[in-house]
Structure 1
């Protein structure tokens, strides 16, 4: 059934903001079209920045969803820290802009709804030094609407100018803090130093070189998967010191063995699942990296080094034996050697100084003890390398076990979350069963005299029980509600400062809200009804202009489209559906409050005038019982009224009904069986009402027991 709609009238002197005024206390919107949106700045403080980066999630208050929803994957993003007024970048969106990706983010213990539901997942495009406000302010000067506040929406030229300002952050060490790369670094401390080759850019992690092959062009090409680069893109893998420098070593610190293309090469995720290959690469990088263009293990390189030393020593021995053979048998001592002339053709290049001869003769004639010592040293090195390999394999095994435990814990968390959701649904179902068979009546949003509400409550009139359900994503008043396929829909309205075009639907069985396609334009104080499995948003306005527009949500199309407009503009109107026909009654046309009424028959596809009421009224309620329309209460342009008028469709005429006990407007009506319940509202144009009146055909209005309701006006009411 349709219900009365609340309005923002001249009584409260409320006007919606223009496009240049703030959406909330500190942020304003430019309302760029999707094609014109080049990037978005998100906000944070010191106490929320780490959560933004660790969760890879940015968020803004709900009113910003008007442009956050236009974010597509890959759009450049920036993060402004209000604490030190620095701009961080460069980020990019990893998802579309959505509501409540993390419904409890940036709260103290996760028990409350997030204050920043307009969210988007992010990743790092380029890690850069942050910009001071005096650096980036000139590039987005058009966005500053006060000395310290600016619009977060950026056009393409502003994004291009900002990106040119950012400077890639230099590396300052080789420490990396990601869970995977930190374990890799711990392995490097126990392995021999090897060649280091940079590859992968700023976000890569430094590790010993891996095998490289040459392609047909002769350039180096890494044949391993670069999955590690994705892990390196996580913010927590790039810790920064106080000077803003990254801990990973820069290319300026590489040794002469650095690869010629000047890039650090990270160990990839593929390596983590192949311990044998990782061990082989570590050992090969610590020994001679290549012989005849191929990589060898530590053992192979050690054996070849020994063979080279032995070959050199054997060559020296052979030369000495040839020297002895060329001399006569009596050339056996220093005196004979000294007698050899320095120009003797048999001994070319011999030194002429006698001290040099003494040095030659002092060399031991038996070099094999030195060779044995070298062999012993090589054996010790082999043992050390073997121990290091064993330790590496043990660490790799622990790493794999840790990964398995983490995966098991993640699955357990998912199970617990599923159980919590089931328990919550069961509690909601139990609460529904505890309500009487007449209900429940759903109360949505409104104003309690102190604050604008986002609450959703179910109310049982007979038992006077109020049950709180999951709230909406933002405060909402002056809205309209309708039902479709067992779900509740609320659309339009505002929060006292701005009007909405957003639409949300609520599923009672799951106790969950879902964001729906928005209205064609922002509006409040509109009416709503359901006809032929389609929802109609009727009339309304933006506080400056009253509308005669009618929008229709077609689930098959998945969007709102314009339907034939009414004959008159109707702000703060009321509407209902009866026997396949829509009725719109009263309202405000921008000059006067109206007595008139009209109806829409989809078979005729046009609106037709009906007889007028006796009383002008807007911000009233419209209810149906016994196939008759009841226009209840409202405001006539000078005062709140208590009168009730009844329309009989069969005779197309109005008649006066029983008046209310107290004049009121901005109330809401709900029909249970053959009774009308008028809930809350405002009296005297200033005070919220906390009472409920009930009317049953054949009797008069009476006060109902309603201690559970409390003060509430500008709300929406619906019965499923």
Structure 2
């Protein structure tokens, strides 16, 4: 795994390092202390290889690459994805330097610095140590400490491999030329005295050490200051060729790096042109369909989709619905759009500019059908079906892929996760959740999917878990204080709100808030109305809880609005009417 060392005080990023062990506590209990008399302030450590020794990057250099990781002005998440690792490696590779004096290379192995005299010598001398592979940012001090940013495993072996191969080939060619010259010189030149022989042997040792650049560069100075020794002309020519080869090698490396940067810039420009073409095509389509759309909705007030909540399917207290509607809470206006192909409750997901409805149920009838809605053309497109008919599932998008989580079919509850890749055009089984979950709630936040609550076929759940696509695994989170299913999960101000639901005995009005940076749940002011099987969405700094089933089993038409610091307020919004088992999403 590639690692980068971040210095909090100087705001600098060092690299490029490669992990040589798992992260452990106190590999060197006296590391990073001046004289080894005190135990280290940085006990969480990992052994590493130095892949490339580069000048550190200032924060204004690396911040644009990891800007998506920042959650405050001075703090950022430490896990990196493949694209971020590749860009950091490319940027650091432009600032290669000679090995540091604190990392002395002897007999081909790295020596461990700052080792306390009382400590036994490390068994693997080809490894040095850096501070922790991961530290919780909320508990980290910004004193003179350092943290490691981690990237995907084995990535260093794959990034810029053509350039690395070219450099290695040049190095092998250079060493071969040097040995050939020395061999010819040994056969033809006159014998030296013992002092001269020692000098030549010392030169040969320097040539064997590829990384001892400073010794080679100062060789000419040593010649001029040593008056008792004069090198033969052939050996002088070898030294000159060596210096030329090294200069050529450095020039070639710089050229390759420049070409890589040019290639990256060109690819970025091509992507920008493609995006521009897509936008122009969209504008063209809008102009062609504008007249017909206006005619269809000319009796209604125009709604801005950016300020609207999309509502799909559900039950109005009398019958199941296939409707899709756009609702504007500020104006309390609802606009009917082209309906779905089936009457059902369903799960919604948003990918780019399209809306996706996935699976669902209708009074015991279970669906595996999937459709996508194009808001520009007000039209639906049928997509490949799920691998299993299921309802009560949750849907979310992550890295341009759609995930269908859990659900049930009336017989079994599922922990299964299916992933839809638009480029592949089919649903692919993904890593299952740790628990079966029916009528769960899920949401994507900061590059991860959070799945909360639900019913596992035996009991209602308070547990929660998190999926990170880079690790391709689910991890357990702290459980909620209350069990709940048929609830809603909404992101507001970088926090997750678990709202209402059914706890196995009654509908609840309670609300709990999860802060991903702290990893804990906190109680929030409850709603005014207990409700489950409702829809909720975050819009313009507020959360709207819409409809649902009340504590007495009645279908609700009440809408509540939540603002942080103001709690929940019942509204007089009436346009939606009675509605339950429906879904909501903001485009």
TM-score, length basis structure 1:
0.41
Which is bigger in relative contact order (C-alpha 8 A, separation at least 6)? 1
- TM-score with structure 2 length normalisation? 0.50
Higher strand share goes to which structure?
2
Choose 1 or 2 for highest CA Rg: 1
